[in-house]
Amino acid sequence: MPSDLLQDIKLCGRIPRHVAIIMDGNGRWARQRGLARTRGHAAGMKAVREAVEGAVEVGLEILTLYAFSQENWNRPQREIAALMSLLQRYVAKEQEELKRRGVEVAVYGDLDRLAPGPRRAVRQIEEATRGGRVLRLNLMISYSGRAELVRAARLLAERVRRGELAPEDIDEAALAAHLYTAGLPDPDLLIRTSGEQRISNFMLWQLAYTELYLTPVLWPDFRREHLFASIHEYQKRERRFGRVTAS
């Protein structure tokens, strides 16, 4: 099944450059099994590997994963500590394999809120994988779409204050150039797992014309065939970006 889907996708040829995923359902997965929520987060690590390997197989340029939102800081301290520990374990376990596969990792968000250990892990994986040309893997950690826009507005305001930029020169391109994702194409496809139907403060600017794919699969159960299925569905859609095709 996965190999057939992959073949169909490559025959179509219209492969998205950039896919983003809201990884949702770890807690529900654990609850269904009578386990602690932290066990669900740990199980989700396998899905991250599946998504990355599937992205490499299918030929994506960029994969962006929503790993930890700023709102997640409001969760119980024990759960936050477990998530930060998982981040460090992910770096220790996957760093060399990502480098071998040519995956370059970039981490975006308010990283000043991270404790020293997780912050070192972030720097470590970015430095170790820098220059990878097969896939760009963006990990959004301590991230908020609204906070990203506020940050961009402040950076623009500071440039105006210094006399480097006139207010009338601020346009969409200027704002986009001050986002975390400056220089990267917007996501072509957003996948959200667990069946929820919202974007949860994720990449609010970048998702303006992104195709959405919602799946009931809980994140720990997500495998590369689910990624392939979402891309196969994307290939059937007509992207108009607000335009109307001639009749």
- The residues that are catalytic are 24, 72
Output b/e per residue, 60-97; b: 16+ Cβ within 10 A: bbbbbbbbbbbeeeeeeeeeeebbbbbbbebbeebbee
Query: Which residue's entry shows tokens 């335009």?
Result: 243
Q: Count the helices and strands in the chain (H runs, E runs).
A: 8, 6
Decide: 188 and 210 in contact? Cβ < 8 Å.
yes
- In terms of Cα–Cα distance, which of 62, 70, 69, 67 is closest to 183? 62
Query: What's the Cα-to-Cα distance from 194 to each of 145, 150, 222, rounded to whole Å?
Result: 21, 29, 10
Decide: 6 and 58 in contact? Cβ < 8 Å.
yes
